[in-house]
Structures are given as C-alpha cells and as structure tokens.
Structure 1
Amino acid sequence: MSVFTASRLLGKTVLITGASAGIGAATAVLFAKGGSNLILLARRADQLEKVAEAAYAAHRAASVQQGGQIVTVQLDVTDGSQVAALWSKVPPGLRAVDILVNNAGGAHGIDRVGDIQEKDVDTMFATNVLGLISLTQLLIKDFKSRNAGHIINLGSIAGREPYAGGSVYCASKAAVRAFTASLLREVVDTPIRVTEIQPGMVETEFSLVRYRGDKSAADKVYEGIRPLTAEDIAEEIVWAAARPPHVNIAEVFVLPVNQASATLTFRGGSK
C-alpha cells in the first residue's frame, strides 16, 4: 500500500515549518504528491521557492485532482511578531489548516557544559522549543473550534537518550517530547491528533550546521553507515497523517538499521 490512502490527504492544508531544506522540504513534496495544499515557512526565502517548485512538480506528476495550492512565507519561528502576523500573509482560503508539521530546529556545536556559548543555548531553545510552542498555540484554538486537526512534532532520539556533547540539544528535544506528550493528554477529549516523530541518524544539513560548516567533520558522522534520508522521515510523517481519523500515531521512533541507540552504531565500512 502507498503511504497515501485514497482521499485522506486530498485537499488537506498542511503547514510546515523549516520547509526550505531537509526533512521539511521532503515532507512538502510528499504531501503535494498526495494532493494536499501547502503553507511553507522558513527563514531562507530563495530556498523556500525552490521547494515550492519541486512540490508543484510532484503534484502535477501525480495527476491528483485536488490540492496543489502552495504558499511560501519567509518566517523565523523564534520571532513572536512574525508568528503573530502569519495569517496576514496567507490567503483566506488556506487559513483553515488541517495538519501542522513543526519541523524547524537544529543543533549548534558539540561543546561540553561550561564551554557552551550562550547564543547557541538561546538559538536551540528558541527554535526547537519556543518556536514549536508558538506555532502550536497559534493553531490549537482553531483546531478546537473546528473539532479537527493534527499536530506533528519533530523530536529526536536525543529527546529519549542524552549523550555527551549534546546537553542543550538533548534538553531541547526532551522538552519537545514532554510538550507533545502533555498536549496529547490535553486533547484526549477531542478528535485532534498529536504525533511525535523521533528520528535517529538522518543525513541532511543537520551535522553541517552542528559543526558550523565544517563539511569534513559533518561527513564523519555518517562514515561507514547508511543513515536515514530526509525522504525516509517524510514518509513516516505523511504515513502518520494519512491514518484513518480515529487512529493516532502517538510516537514514531525510527532508526537506520545499523543504529541501536544515540551512541551505538555498526559501521561496516560503506553506506
């Protein structure tokens, strides 16, 4: 069976943060292929437009009869004023969002406690936690008023298992896990669905950002192992969204086959 199931994604409106690259971009393309409309948010406007073009192409190639409306908004989820003004940049017909994918996030540095730069602490918590909460709060009241909606948060293996050199990033993803679990309990008396996707090792821009643009250091993270791809995680996100309305996938913990924990991998010499 395809990740898409009949008409469950057709005409749905999906809002994706951090949509300019990696998992966010791959998720946008896959939802477009399934006949969804998209609101794509990211800081990098030029990259965002490229993703929109790829999503348009995927929608056309799929020959689906619904969806295909795509709006891009340059937006920094850490800026509350930009989040508050979001709807002024979205056409009225797309403001009734069905699925929120809180994907924006990242890690900065591998410094140990005592050597971590305050700006890195602020950036990780502002993006990974506060931005996610801001977008959720923006949409949850409308979800409740319409008695519908699905919130999909991108967590991480780091939120389940702390590791040395990742104290702040791990703490931020643990916060995402706790926030998501609390929200799940708060809306248990509604049809609103809440999902956390928890990937292990995924080869995207993640390590390049973490190592501050040092490509050789970033490449070593994936040396000798075949990691997950952005498309792998996009499939899990879209699969969760395409379940029947009475089915909620609360957590998806997904690893490459040669990873067993945050620090335990088998590196066989090739990808």
Structure 2
Amino acid sequence: MKKIALVTGATSGIGRATALLLAENGYNLIITGRRTELLDNLKKEIEVKYKADVLPLSFDVRDKDQVDAAISNLHERWRKIDVLINNAGLAAGLNHVQEGLEEDWERMIDTNIKGLLYVTRRVAPIMIEHKGGHIVNIGSIAGSEVYENGNVYCATKHAVNALSKAMRIDLLKSNIKVTQIRPGMVETEFSIVRFHGDEDKAKNVYSGITPLFAEDIAQTILFVLTRPAHVSINDIEVTPTQQASSTYVTRNL
C-alpha cells in the first residue's frame, strides 16, 4: 500500500518539486495551496507521469477554519497521512524594522508560523492514531542567524527552528520523526514575492551565482524520508556552494 504525503504550498517552487519527486518514488499525494488552477494542473501531471493518486485541496494555511475544514473532511482513504511537508512560507519586504510594513509582518507571521501550526495541529493527531509518521518543516538558514533588513522574516524562521525542536520532543513517544530542512538561496518565486512582484530586483538576488533549485531541496526531503526506521535526520542546512551564510556570498561578476 502506497504511503500518503501531504505537501503544503504545492503550487510552485519547493512544494511542487517535492510533490513530483515523491509521486515518482511511490507516494500518493495530498497537495494544498491557494491557486486552484495550478493545483489541478499538478494533479494531472502527476497522474499522467507517475500513475499516483492525488487529492488537491485549495485553502489558505493562514485561515484556521479553512485548514480545519479541509483536514477534518478528508475521506477515510486519505486519512492515514504518513508524511507532512510543512512547506508553505514566504518572505515579504526587505526593510529596516522602523520602515517595515505591518501587512508584510502579518503575512509572514500568519503563514510561516501560524499556518505551520494550524496544519500540524490537525495532522499530528492522525499520525499519533496510526502510531507513526514523519513531519518535515521547511525552515531557512535565516532560522539560525539574522541579517540586515531580515528582522521579521528571520524571526519567523527562528520560530520554525524552535517549533521543530519542540515537536520532536512532544511527538517522540508517538514514533513520529520531525526533520527541519534549512535552505540558503533557492531560486523559486521566493524573491519575486519578497519584492512584491518586482522581477528585476528578484533576479539581482541570484546574480553571479548558481543558486539552489527547488529540485535540490526535494531531493534532500526524499533522502530524509527514506532513511531506515531507526534513523532520524533532525536538521539539515543546505546552501549553494557559493554561499557560506546569509551575508557571505561569492559572486562571479
């Protein structure tokens, strides 16, 4: 019987790449996101390429009622969730704290922290009921350091770091693994979202370097999921070869 993986933020970037790779490797998928058309397109692609079963759920992780309704109304055949990939997350704005936009702050806090919590709160009891599972939280290199203008984004990813450690402790006796993956610079929609759609600014972020790609993080996720039952990979930091930290990057210009 195929395992079931629930992937949040599956409409693009790391979430989409992860859904495709897991389907290729024998998983059935619950894919979630806000863009219904993109979810439907991904469902069709997976079904054609990998003959996997796919359930698209269109909801916003920031909305507790939407999360509750989506998970609580799952058909019985989808309720044995073996893997949860808490991928939905974003950065919004890049300002000094005294110039930050409150709406950017709220968007990051509501998505990166509260959204992760809302989904985990509904899925973890299902895993406990079935006596096992694996939760993978997509954090960031910004969860262990802080850089100029990164204030609130860094704070949210520090929270993901703390929550991952706390989940690991709280769920230890329930045979549930918890892994945090903390990427450095990954070329996805991340920078376009951060700069509110300014594609020129987004491109400059990766100027002169070969960044990570969504598929690199998907491969890392697959690696941790396929370790033996007695092995738990708790935390992985992944960066491009040209990046040593949030602020140390060498560019070929």
**Which interval holds the TM-score relative to the shorter structure?**
over 0.9
State the secondary structure of the residue aligned to 1:100: strand
Partner of 2:13: 22
Deviation at 1:93, TM superposition (A): 0.3
TM-score, normalised by the number of residues in structure 2: 0.97
Task: Kindly indicate whether residue 126 of structure 2 is the aligned counterpart of residue 169 of structure 1.
Answer: no
Deviation at 1:201, TM superposition (A): 0.3
Deviation at 1:53, TM superposition (A): 2.2
Partner of 2:60: 76
CA distance in 2 between counterparts of 1:232 and 1:146 reads: 30
- Taking only aligned residues, the RMSD between alpha carbons, in angstroms, comes to 1.2
Task: Kindly indicate whether residue 44 of structure 2 is the aligned counterpart of residue 53 of structure 1.
Answer: yes
Deviations along 1:147-175, whole A, 9 cap, x unmatched?
Answer: 10111000000101110111000000000
CA distance in 2 between counterparts of 1:158 and 1:55 reads: 32
Contact 1:29 1:58 in 2 (8 A): no
Partner of 2:142: 158
CA distance in 2 between counterparts of 1:96 and 1:69 reads: 14
Uncovered stretches (5+) of structure 2, i.e. residues with no partner: none
CA distance in 2 between counterparts of 1:105 and 1:124 reads: 7
Partner of 2:71: 87
Deviation at 1:203, TM superposition (A): 0.1
> What is the identity, as a one-letter code, of the residue corresponding to 2:21?
L
Deviations along 1:175-195, whole A, 9 cap, x unmatched?
Answer: 000000011112222311000
Deviation at 1:247, TM superposition (A): 1.1
After TM superposition, the structure 1 stretch with the greater mean CA deviation from structure 2, 110-119 or 214-223, is 110-119
CA distance in 2 between counterparts of 1:133 and 1:157 reads: 20
Deviation at 1:88, TM superposition (A): 5.5
State the secondary structure of the residue aligned to 1:266: coil
> What is the identity, as a one-letter code, of the residue corresponding to 1:18?
G
Contact 1:13 1:36 in 2 (8 A): yes
State the secondary structure of the residue aligned to 1:31: helix
Contact 1:73 1:89 in 2 (8 A): no
Partner of 2:224: 240
CA distance in 2 between counterparts of 1:107 and 1:230 reads: 16
Partner of 2:25: 34
Partner of 1:7: none
> What is the identity, as a one-letter code, of the residue corresponding to 1:113?
V
CA distance in 1 between counterparts of 2:12 and 2:167 reads: 27
CA distance in 2 between counterparts of 1:38 and 1:20 reads: 13
TM-score, normalised by the number of residues in structure 1: 0.91
Partner of 1:222: 206
Partner of 1:207: 191
Uncovered stretches (5+) of structure 1, i.e. residues with no partner: 1-9, 61-67
Superposed structure 1 runs of 4+ greater than 3 Å apart: 87-90
Contact 2:184 2:240 in 1 (8 A): yes
CA distance in 1 between counterparts of 2:57 and 2:73 reads: 7
Partner of 2:246: 262
State the secondary structure of the residue aligned to 2:121: helix
After TM superposition, the structure 1 stretch with the greater mean CA deviation from structure 2, 84-93 or 175-184, is 84-93
Partner of 1:5: none
Q: List aligned pairs for 1:183-198, cutoff 5 A.
A: 183-198=167-182
Partner of 2:97: 113
Deviation at 1:261, TM superposition (A): 0.4
Contact 1:71 1:90 in 2 (8 A): no
Aligned length: 253
CA distance in 1 between counterparts of 2:60 and 2:211 reads: 28
Deviation at 1:146, TM superposition (A): 1.6
CA distance in 2 between counterparts of 1:11 and 1:226 reads: 36
Deviation at 1:89, TM superposition (A): 5.1
Percent identity, aligned pairs only, is 42
Deviation at 1:243, TM superposition (A): 1.2
CA distance in 2 between counterparts of 1:220 and 1:118 reads: 25
> What is the identity, as a one-letter code, of the residue corresponding to 1:57?
V
> What is the identity, as a one-letter code, of the residue corresponding to 1:97?
I
State the secondary structure of the residue aligned to 1:15: strand
Deviations along 1:40-62, whole A, 9 cap, x unmatched?
Answer: 000011111122222223314xx
